[in-house]
Structure 1
Amino acid sequence: MSGASETRSPKPGALNGFEETVKDFWVSRPRRPYAGRKVAGVAAGIGQRYGIDPVVVRIALVVATIFGGFGLTFYLLAWLFLPGESDEVSGFEGLIGRGRSSVSPAFAIVLMILAVVFAAGAFAGSWFDGGGLIGFALIATALYLLHRSRGHENRPLPVTPRPSSTPFTGNGAFTMTDTAEAKSPAQGWDPLAADPAGWDLPDAPPEPPPAPSAPAHHAPGRRPRSKVGSATFGLAVLTAGGGVLANLNGASWFSAQHIVGLVLGVVGIGLVTGAFARGGRGLIGLAVPLAIAGMVLTTTPFQDFDFRGGIGDITESPRTTAEVQPVYQHAAGDIDLDLTKVAAGAPYTTTVTNGAGDTKIIVPQTADVTYDCSTAAGDARCFGRSTDGISQPALTGTDYGTDGPGGQQITLHVTTTAGSVEVRRG
């Protein structure tokens, strides 16, 4: 057999099972290159590894982010677990001390936190209607099939770890290390086989005067690392967190688009400061997606999204009019409100507001219900009437039930930013 056939890595085939393919993927996982990257080099690394256009990878991640939200989560995880082009290990492995990585431990922790936050949002839906789960399955399947078919190609070369000490090399005929022992003339070693007393050697030249100290210069082609980027990033995170907390405490002005605008303003100030301080160029990678997010939030129905109300499912079944809350508000999750068990009494009004999720309200058969139902993105079905799509007009009217006017008077205001709305009789 030739040397090439002996060193070439085997192609994953039918004899390799799922476990072997996953292990081989981890061992030969893509590396994030410096050339051709837009943010962290994830799409460029996957494209180079499996011989596909990185633009296709970027489009797939954008689609997965829009429909389900897992595309952004995957990008953050890949940034954390895929090593850089010249790194020994990934950012996560560097965090736990497995080797050298260009991702600092502090930034690796930030990536982990962001990945957990976005993953929680992507998997907020139920098992079957969660777009995040579908995106995760599609991305995982695509990577598995790519590695099965092209895993033997373009395998990255391992990065040699930096040596702890550099051995001393002589004239090429032999090598001496710091552990080598050499005998001194006092121990009887004479390389010329002559009496040392008879050697006539010239005197050593006088030492030259010390040269004046020159100002320190940085390596050519490399700029000194500036703290503008790190300081701006930290301030941007604090601004976003403060805006969300203010919204949760009732400051309705701090909506999603306003928070993005404030963070973008902080990043802009950092970019201007960095232009004078010769730093902060990495903030461009943060400013671009923020600008896109701000544009989307101000031109789509999601601009009215509210963070208040918590996350999860709400199931309520009041029995008296006093138990009916005037407002049911939720940030994300499903709301099920059953009003069929409320004893007849004085007229009452309730408002149901949901940020993202499905909202279902059931009213008695004989109640006289005045309603307005709307959803910014999704479908609304109220007493046999329906709308579907984005920015559709609200469904309004009064439904008297099966017995006509004269029943319990109920007024409903139902709004959902993203999800479905259903109001029907039980």
Structure 2
Amino acid sequence: MSRPNGHTTAGIEDTVRDFWANRPVRPRAGAKLGGVSAALGSRYGIDPVLVRVAFVVGTFYGGAGLVLYLLGWLLFPKEGTGKPGEVGSRSTSGPMLVLLVLLLVPALFAVADLAGLFGLVLGGLGLYLLHRHHRDRPSAPVAAQQREQGTTGEQSTAGEQATAGDANTWVYPGTNRSSTAGDTERTDPPSWDPLGAAPFAWDLPEPGEQSPEPEPPRTHRRSVTLITLALALLAGGLGVAIGMSPADAVAVGLAVLGAGMIVGAFVQGGRGLIGFAIPVAALAMLLSVLPTPWRGFTSEEVRPDTIGEVRDTYTGSVGNIELHLDDLRFADEQQLATSAHIGLGNISVYLPPNVDATVRCSTGGMGAVDCLGEQREGRDLRVETTDLGADGPGGGTIALDLTADTGNVEVFRG
């Protein structure tokens, strides 16, 4: 099957094979890190800034952006240095190859979740569509080599024509016109030389009217940005309406922004989406570590006068919870049990000096615990301890269950 313009519709296998044979070349100039974004921008005629933002957003979205960038660094050849005897591009050096493989292995393990796999598929699909629609566009090093060869060839051809012609043939200085001895000379001056000051150039054609400047092609840059933003807001709002968590709804909006930037790469637009994608990606990362449902910001300092005033549980999404229980007075058989949970923040509890305490301190993500002197730092911490106080057994009993998803948990004696 053929297209109207004569090009043959390429299948998936042909497109992939052609991409590998004509894959982007990482330039020596304009590269920020490995030159992958600059290579893609130069090869397919898109803004490298959009490509860099897509890699950054993809890194936040499951780590796929980091894996795709390392693969590009590993597989895209480097532009030659231009030294004598060196032509075209060259492969990645041995030490750099080893380093990239060492970085790629842990990065692949980081994208083992659904979001990472979706990001890899989306990135691969975007690259496939780019090459399918712009496969005939040469990369910058190839185009420069063609221009250099074309210029040299034209100059050589012009010189050969000027010297290998008839002895009576000569070229007007500064022009491409030639004249022979048999040409009829003009006797009347042309309109552009009414005083007859340049008779040697009278046989040049009359200057025509300058053609009007061509109108710049109409683009849809602003439309791509506005339509994508509207769709992102609609998708996020619809996600909340059907019961998605805030983190999932923001992730859906971020995916729509990413799709809009891919579309913008084809129409040379959508650069305004960069300013929205970066904070949305940061918000998605923040919401991913917060508990569900969202309970707002918390800054709670509790100082009860009696045991009865202590609640069964204290919770918050982001902030600090302080329980000052050191002023409470316990009878020998009196018991108290309470818990506290914070999504992102700190929990601090102060106990009376003589009460018997059974305490469990834990964190879900990164954090630290100081549970009646037992200190630990890291991820997924669990510390359980029993302390009988300064006077030994007796003096009442208190049980605490304290958890911070990301943050610090501290228990001290008053």
TM-score, structure 2 as length reference:
0.39
Larger gyration radius, structure 1 or structure 2: 2
TM-score (norm 1): 0.38
